[in-house]
Amino acid sequence: MDRAQFTRLDENAWQVAPRGAMRVPAVIYASAALIDGMDQKVFEQITHVATLPGIVQAAYAMPDAHWGYGFPIGGVAAFDAEAGGVISAGGVGFDISCGVRSLLTGLSRDDILPVQKELAELLYYAIPAGLGSTGAIRLSGKEMDAMLRGGARWAVEQGYGEEDDLQRVEERGCMAGARAEAVSEQAKKRQRDEMGTLGSGNHYLEVQQLTEVYDATLAQDFGLEPGAIVVSIHCGSRGLGHQIGTEFLKRMLVAAKGYGISLPDRELACAPLRSPLGEDYLGAMRAGINCALANRQILTHLTRRAFAEILPQAHLRLLYDVSHNTCKLEEHEVGGARRRLFVHRKGATRAYGPGHPELPEALRASGQPVLIGGTMGTASYILAGTAEGEAKSFSSACHGAGRAMSRHQAGRQWRGRALVDELAARGILIRSPSLHGVAEEAPGAYKDVSAVVEASHQAGLARKVARLEPLIVIKG
């Protein structure tokens, strides 16, 4: 993008003042190099978001921002329902509550290396992955509705995990206000056989080694030690979330004119939060969040079971589970007053700072763990939310590296087998049902995750805690 379009607020913040139909400024957090590498579409989309009714303070884009459907991926915006605020399915995304959970293992690299290949094979067969992947769990209609209302709590009650896990999951593992009846039968049908599966695209399970600590105090608070082995799981609500997004985008587009909403882009189709359609989407979207939370909880159980076969001394304890495609009702300070706002985070991670009452007691003093996924052959990061992040971005940070090219472009430029062999030579074992899918997720198809994380750190959105590098990658 051309930097001349912005007013530079500081080294890592760029603003577009309100103009035309914009109701608030648009702010992008990024270094100069990241701004230069962003597509012009990010500028167009984030300024379009700033025109939506009831938006508060500013429309934000994170350092990993890139083109998406409606909102840019990496987009954050908060809306006041009492001021005519809207909810947009394009501001949440199709993979509702896609997110990352990280597990501490108590193991070291020396424990993993002798069994690395054996563990890679076992995890590959234990964790269903790939386009249209299905698992051993098949839900009846009654069980489906119970899962959509109960989330990870439902999964634990079914024996997939431990009660202690729920204290380390957003919303304590269950999103209130979920309405199973607002989810279509087609969405439920798509999900019936997909619980406990990774899916495809950029989803993964990684066995990672902690290679660098940036903040020793926070690392200790999080239970992280140099050389420690961590398992991270990245996936979402699978076919159910995609179906919810598809159906409600169509309904919102048809209804927008009747609500008196003028859309700068049809992909920003939305509905007033205080409307039957807005409330229906909220209920269905919250059910989608619960689906993703339950899915990651089941995958945690399957991962623990696989580790127990080869490394019985391991105890996989949940560090945290964060989502990055949601809209949540939260309280934030705006203009010196506390307001209840519906915060859209699309490809952005919630990052509550120290002392926030929503955090579990064990993490309240340190701030929320912010889990930033890498790109198959690159590093991942653990950060912590900051107190200043609330004013800067409604307590939001980046979610990953962000794509630098389309999957189609990546598939033409790289070959999956060559990538698998190249990474194996570096000590990283890749297991995937699709070599074409591996090519589409080539590390070179993404931005430099280290640069994205550094920009988030420098901007004060979240603090760097530790760096992780992959040893085993199960790709969807």
* Residues marked as catalytic: 399
In the structure encoding, which two tokens stand for residue 58, read together? 């500013």
**Whole-angstrom distance, CA of residue 181 vs CA of residue 71:** 27
Residue in 265, 237, 271 with CA at minimum distance from that of residue 251 = 271
Backbone phi and psi for residue 75, each to the nearest 5 degrees, phi listed first = -95, 140
Within 10 Å of residue 171's Cβ, how many Cβ atoms?
A: 20
User: Which residues contact residue 68 at a Cβ distance below 8 angstroms, ignoring those fewer than 6 apart?
Assistant: 45, 74, 75, 90, 93, 346, 347
Residues in the chain: 476
Q: How buried is 414 (Cβ within 10 angstroms: 0-12 exposed, 13-18 middle, 19+ buried)?
A: buried
Backbone phi and psi for residue 244, each to the nearest 5 degrees, phi listed first = -60, -50
Question: What sign does the dihedral 158-202-52-55 (CA atoms) show?
Answer: positive
Nearest 5°: the CA angle 235, 239, 243 is 125
Q: Residue 28 pairs with which residues in a beta bridge? A: 14, 61
User: Which residues contact residue 361 at a Cβ distance below 8 angstroms, ignoring those fewer than 6 apart?
Assistant: none
* Structural contact between residues 103 and 303, judged by C-beta atoms closer than 8 angstroms: yes
* Structural contact between residues 47 and 26, judged by C-beta atoms closer than 8 angstroms: yes
Q: Where are the alpha helices (DSSP H) in 82-191?
A: 109-112, 116-126, 141-157, 185-191
* Structural contact between residues 214 and 234, judged by C-beta atoms closer than 8 angstroms: no
Q: How buried is 125 (Cβ within 10 angstroms: 0-12 exposed, 13-18 middle, 19+ buried)?
A: exposed
Q: What separation in angstroms does the CA of 315 have from each of 208, 232, 297, 312?
A: 15, 14, 15, 8
Separation of CA 36 from chain center: 24
**Whole-angstrom distance, CA of residue 198 vs CA of residue 176:** 24
What is the residue-wise DSSP string for 393-415?
Answer: HSSEE--S--BSS-HHHHHHH--
* Structural contact between residues 452 and 145, judged by C-beta atoms closer than 8 angstroms: no
In the structure encoding, which two tokens stand for residue 425, read together? 């030579």
Helices 276-310, 238-255: inter-axial angle, 10-degree rounding: 170
Q: Where are the alpha helices (DSSP H) in 257-323?
A: 276-310
